[in-house]
């Protein structure tokens, strides 16, 4: 553990790579020789232009995006995307498919319905407390898009592979697992991710959109709610969240230069998740709450034999330098969020703590 630092298992805002925090610290008062902080420079300056362009280029490289796609930075979090997607892409006479795998999917569905859009919930795991990812889903061939949540931050489930939509553009909320593993972009029409889980600080949401979908955006929408505004102005129609985008740029650089890309990142993430699931699987004291096949590599959800023990576990973990292990308030239990930036060392320390806790209380 680094001096004055603890092991951070928060779900979001979440841990950032230590190397990134150090780089921010070093350049904070004098960014790139400008004599100004990154929080003080103009978004119209060459300095910031380089930041945002580098962030876009690195995203394209890491995700293997070709020129069919545009990378945008939007404020309003992933939650605004729940509204912007149907607003921009789903029109009179159109329908879209949604898969409901938890609270975030439910919210995405609600925001489309609020606008009076026609959508079909083609599959849901609500029948079993959102503990699994539905299989063999039949999508409507005439849907304008099919929406999924790739990783369910609260329930601890994750799509092991992406569904075959039969050519319907897939839209995924990847807020809590973007850049955690490689995937094939071809089936996707749009991907969005709030930065504060796996990519940076709060305040910016990355949107990757296939250019042909931009043609669906109605002129009549307010400028700030149109994807075309962001794509035609390099995400700088108004003042963007400069510091958040700068941090995202550094995280992307860290992924490329320190980790070595997404194949390598996935390998590390699998190793990290395995360490924790091994403890859960080899004990009667800890019980995983997600079905084995649908388990998340990012959010490991589990329970102890009694609610009082969940509480004691979180309390004692806190006293021992582990933060963020309390499950989401809507589901209870415990949750360890182990995004890209969580080092293996933090997980090994948690594993030791869990084993000791079981010995004392099991
Ligand atoms: C956290 C989260 C959201 C909400 O993100 P905001 O940026 O707070 O709007 C949406 N979807 C998923 C999967 C999340 O984990």
Tens digits of residue pLDDT in 196-226: 999 999 999 999 999 999 999 999 999 999 9
CA atoms within 13 A on the CB side of 187: 16
Residue ranges of E strands in 255-357: 287-288, 299-303, 322-323, 334-337
> Which pLDDT band holds residue 4 (cuts at 50, 70, 90)?
confident
Domain limits of the chain? 21-258, 261-361
> Which pLDDT band holds residue 185 (cuts at 50, 70, 90)?
very high
Smallest CA separation from ligand 1 atom 3, residue: 78
Q: Which residues are catalytic?
A: 104, 173, 197
DSSP state of 295: B
* CATH no. of 21-258: 3.40.640.10
The pLDDT tens digits for 140-164 are 999 999 999 999 999 999 999 999 9
Ligand 1 binding pocket mutation candidate from 73, 74, 76, 77 (most atoms within 8 A of CB): 77
Strands 205-210 and 188-194: antiparallel
User: Do 21-258 and 261-361 agree at the fold level?
Assistant: no
Ligand 1 binding pocket mutation candidate from 78, 84, 105, 296 (most atoms within 8 A of CB): 78
> Which pLDDT band holds residue 330 (cuts at 50, 70, 90)?
confident
Q: Any residues with Cβ below 6 Å from ligand 1, and which?
A: 12, 77-79, 104, 149, 153, 173, 175-176, 194, 197
Q: What is the pLDDT, as a whole number, of residue 77?
A: 98
**What is the distance between the alpha carbons of residues 309 and 325, in angstroms, rounded to a whole number?**
13
Residue 62 neighbours by CB under 8 Å, 6+ apart? 179, 252, 255, 256, 261, 262
238 backbone φψ class: left, alpha, beta (φ>0; ψ -120 to 50) = beta
* CATH no. of 261-361: 3.90.1150.10
**What is the distance between the alpha carbons of residues 361 and 88, in angstroms, rounded to a whole number?**
54
Residue 38 neighbours by CB under 8 Å, 6+ apart? 24, 27, 28, 31, 51, 242, 243, 246
**What is the distance between the alpha carbons of residues 42 and 90, in angstroms, rounded to a whole number?**
36
Residue 84 neighbours by CB under 8 Å, 6+ apart? 74, 76, 225, 227
**What is the distance between the alpha carbons of residues 39 and 35, in angstroms, rounded to a whole number?**
12
**What does the pLDDT average to over 295-310?**
97
Is the confidence at residue 1, as pLDDT, over 70?
A: no
């Amino acid at each position: 553990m680094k001096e004055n630092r603890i092991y951070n298992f928060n779900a979001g805002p979440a841990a950032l790579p230590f190397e990134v925090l150090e780089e921010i610290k070093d350049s904070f008062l004098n960014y790139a020789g400008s004599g100004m902080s990154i929080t003080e420079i103009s978004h119209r300056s060459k300095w910031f232009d380089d930041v945002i362009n580098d962030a876009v280029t690195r995203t394209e490289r890491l995700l293997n995006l070709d020129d069919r796609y545009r990378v945008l930075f939007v404020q309003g979090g992933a939650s605004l995307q729940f509204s912007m997607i149907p607003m921009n892409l789903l029109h009179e006479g159109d329908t879209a498919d949604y898969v409901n795998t938890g609270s975030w999917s439910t919210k995405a569905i609600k925001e489309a319905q609020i606008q009076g859009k026609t959508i079909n919930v083609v599959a849901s795991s609500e029948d079993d407390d959102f503990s699994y990812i539905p299989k063999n889903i039949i999508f409507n061939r005439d849907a304008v898009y099919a929406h999924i949540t790739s990783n369910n931050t609260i329930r601890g489930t994750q799509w092991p592979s992406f569904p075959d939509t039969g050519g319907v553009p897939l839209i995924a909320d990847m807020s809590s697992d973007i850049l955690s593993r490689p995937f094939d972009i071809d089936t996707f029409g749009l991907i969005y991710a709030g930065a504060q889980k796996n990519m940076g600080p709060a305040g910016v949401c990355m949107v990757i959109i296939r250019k042909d979908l931009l043609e669906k955006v109605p002129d009549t929408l307010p400028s700030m709610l149109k994807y075309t505004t962001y794509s035609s102005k390099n995400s700088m129609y108004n003042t963007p969240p400069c510091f958040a985008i700068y941090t995202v740029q550094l995280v992307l650089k860290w992924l490329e230069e320190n980790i070595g890309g997404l194949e390598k990142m996935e390998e590390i993430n699998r190793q990290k998740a395995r360490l924790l699931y091994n403890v859960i699987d080899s004990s009667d004291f800890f019980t995983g709450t997600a079905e084995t096949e649908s388990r998340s590599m990012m959010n490991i959800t589990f329970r102890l034999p009694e609610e009082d023990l969940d509480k004691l576990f979180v309390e004692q973990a806190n006293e021992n330098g582990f933060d963020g292990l309390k499950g989401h308030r809507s589901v209870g239990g415990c949750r360890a969020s182990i995004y890209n930036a969580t080092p293996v060392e933090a997980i090994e320390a948690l594993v030791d703590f869990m084993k000791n806790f079981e010995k004392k209380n099991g």
